[in-house]
């Protein structure tokens, strides 16, 4: 019996019946599986403007397959729009707000399944987290990337616009030129072009088995996306019939497989915290940071998609996408992991190998034996400055760099760091520390990524290191050490660095250290700052957000 079908004659049966009859729902539909189509459509951001069209396709497919769809709306965080207020402090907390939106609407209504329309950076992890938490049949529809344009014979996308702010700040580009770029950088709906966080998490949805095989990355507004949406509406009905729930798919094997894919292609550093959060919500008890550390030792970088190299996200799609990457990695994957098709990953890969239409472009996706770099795309550093770990995107580093040390330049506001960059006060060899920007410290993770983009635009991306507990972008490249754990506001060593002290980074040894003799004493003497937070969502968030190594999920302070 479906949980959405209440006992005849009960209060719940009677009031629901009255509501739905008034809405024009036919009586013969009342006993059908009731499916939530989770839609974050918004006219604020290009990431979401096409989702209503996708939603209609999914709903029609659910009806045709014998179900009753209900559209559920949530918050719609956009990294380039919702970041405007309070230095982007709302972005990370909005991921968990979406999870709770879904719980309230789907659990409160006792619906039977969920189809998630996933778009910008925070929605895909939020949807996967909600699937893990609620554990009712679910499928993710990755809703695609945007295309860029041309200006003066040069390819321009949102990444180029993002980096150009630093070029303007240092006088190497005019505001008029930047204005011209903004007119052509985005051609169509969808998420940022490139292997930034949104496309990275779309790939992760497929790598985890929660999106249809062969569907990521995918261009927004394409006929292919329409067909994926249509098939997803039919698949969710099959998942409900078979009671194939997310925790049968989101297993430790699935998480490890996703980690391997992330390492091989050099995804956004934010993937680490999001996979940690998904594992936490699915109650897997995994240390995802440690998985990146251990699994990265045997997996090199087999793609070079922007910002990691010259190839574009549409090239990755044309080369076979995530399914092709998994095929390259088959010998190191756990192929017994289930997918939303009901088949194991091994069976999915076998089907692909037997398909005449499935071909891997070896120029874009190389075999493990012939990687673009022998380093993993993502790596974990530890040391006195990051005892619980920090993340470096090896795929976005200057090619020959193995070690870096320099004097610390301390900032607790990104704007101040950008201002100093514009004045020429940040120089080659510096290590810029952006701190007190973590989930608890913000509260809500504060943008540090705009400074990194400005640094690259200023021509210093290969010569200045950035170490931060703040929010980075998957578009960032250069010497960036992110997600330093514990974060400064929770007493992490990053809080204790003083201006001019030497920070040493050794990529071969995977270490990051503060070169001072009294760090242990400083840690013993450290006291948290008194904070006066205004009432509101961020204040609530600061009371319940967990350490970032747990994915910065919400929970009890003492858990």
CA–CA separation, 434 and 446 (whole Å): 10
Place of tokens 């993770």: 445
Residue of 473, 539, 542, 559 marked active site? 473
Residue 377 CA: distances (Å) to CA of 307, 386, 398 = 12, 20, 13
CA–CA separation, 338 and 342 (whole Å): 6
CA–CA separation, 229 and 93 (whole Å): 28
Asked if 553 and 281 count as a contact pair (C-beta separation under 8 A), the reply is: yes
Place of tokens 């929970």: 555
CA 422-505-368 angle, 5° bins: 105
Q: Give the count of alpha carbons within 13 A of 192, CB side only.
A: 27
Distance of CA 546 to the CA centre of its chain: 18
Instruction: Examine the residue annotation and report whether 473 is marked as an active-site residue of this protein.
Output: yes
According to the 3-state scheme, what is the secondary structure of 360-429? CCCCCCCCCCCCCECCCCCEEEEECCEEEEEEECHHHCCCCCCEEEEEEEEECCHHHHHHHHHCCCCCCC
H/E stretch holding 465 reads: strand 465-468
**CA torsion angle for 312, 123, 125, 227 (degrees, to 10)?**
-60
Backbone φ and ψ of 554, nearest 5°: -95, 145
**Which residues does the annotation mark as catalytic?**
473
């Amino acid at each position: 019996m479906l949980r959405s079908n209440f006992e005849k004659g009960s209060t719940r049966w009677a009031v629901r019946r009255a509501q739905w009859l008034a809405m024009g729902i036919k009586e013969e539909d009342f006993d059908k599986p009731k499916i939530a189509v989770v839609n974050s459509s918004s006219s604020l951001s290009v990431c979401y403007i096409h989702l209503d069209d996708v939603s209609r396709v999914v709903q029609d497919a659910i009806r045709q397959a014998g179900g009753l769809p209900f559209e559920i709306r949530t918050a719609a965080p956009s990294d380039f729009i919702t970041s405007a207020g309070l230095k982007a402090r709302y972005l990370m907390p909005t991921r968990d707000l979406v999870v709770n939106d879904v719980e309230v609407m789907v659990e409160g209504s006792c619906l039977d399944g969920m189809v998630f329309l996933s778009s910008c950076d925070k929605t895909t992890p939020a949807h996967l987290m909600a699937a893990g938490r609620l554990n009712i049949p679910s499928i993710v529809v990755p809703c695609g990337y945007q295309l860029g344009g041309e200006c003066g014979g040069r390819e321009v996308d949102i990444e180029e616009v993002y980096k150009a702010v630093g070029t303007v700040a240092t006088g190497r580009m005019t505001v008029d030129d930047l204005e011209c770029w903004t007119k052509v950088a985005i051609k169509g709906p969808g998420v940022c072009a490139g292997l930034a966080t949104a496309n990275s998490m779309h790939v992760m949805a497929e790598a985890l088995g929660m999106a249809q095989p062969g569907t990521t990355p995918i261009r927004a507004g394409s006929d292919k996306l329409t067909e994926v949406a249509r098939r997803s509406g039919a698949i969710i009905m099959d998942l409900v019939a078979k009671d194939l729930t997310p925790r049968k798919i989101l297993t430790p094997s699935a998480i490890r497989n996703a980690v391997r894919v992330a390492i091989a292609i050099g995804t956004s550093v934010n993937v680490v915290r999001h996979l940690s959060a998904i594992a936490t919500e699915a109650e897997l008890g995994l240390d995802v940071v440690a998985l990146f550390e251990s699994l990265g030792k045997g997996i090199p970088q087999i793609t070079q998609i922007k910002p990691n190299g010259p190839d574009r996200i549409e090239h990755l799609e044309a080369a076979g996408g995530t399914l092709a990457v998994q095929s390259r990695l088959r010998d190191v994957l756990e192929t017994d992991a289930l997918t939303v098709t009901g088949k194991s990953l091994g069976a999915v890969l076998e089907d692909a190998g037997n398909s005449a239409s499935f071909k891997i472009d070896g120029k874009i996706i190389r075999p493990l034996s012939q990687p673009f770099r022998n380093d993993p795309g993502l790596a974990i550093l530890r040391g006195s400055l990051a005892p619980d770990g920090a993340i470096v995107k090896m795929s976005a580093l200057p090619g020959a760099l193995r070690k870096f040390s320099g004097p610390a330049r301390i900032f607790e506001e990104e704007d101040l760091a950008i201002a100093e960059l514009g004045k020429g006060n940040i120089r080659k060899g510096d290590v810029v520390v952006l701190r007190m920007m973590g989930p608890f410290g913000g509260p809500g993770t504060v943008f540090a990524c705009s400074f990194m983009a400005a640094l690259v635009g200023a021509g210093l991306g290969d010569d200045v290191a950035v170490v931060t507990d703040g929010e980075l972008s998957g578009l960032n490249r250069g010497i960036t050490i992110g997600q330093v754990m514990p974060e400064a506001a929770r007493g992490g060593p990053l809080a204790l660095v003083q201006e001019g002290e030497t920070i040493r980074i050794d990529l071969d040894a995977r270490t990051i250290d503060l070169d001072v003799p009294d760090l242990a004493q400083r840690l013993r003497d450290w006291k948290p700052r008194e904070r006066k937070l205004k009432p509101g969502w961020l204040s609530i968030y600061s009371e319940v957000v967990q350490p970032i190594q747990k994915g910065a999920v919400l929970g009890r302070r003492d858990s």
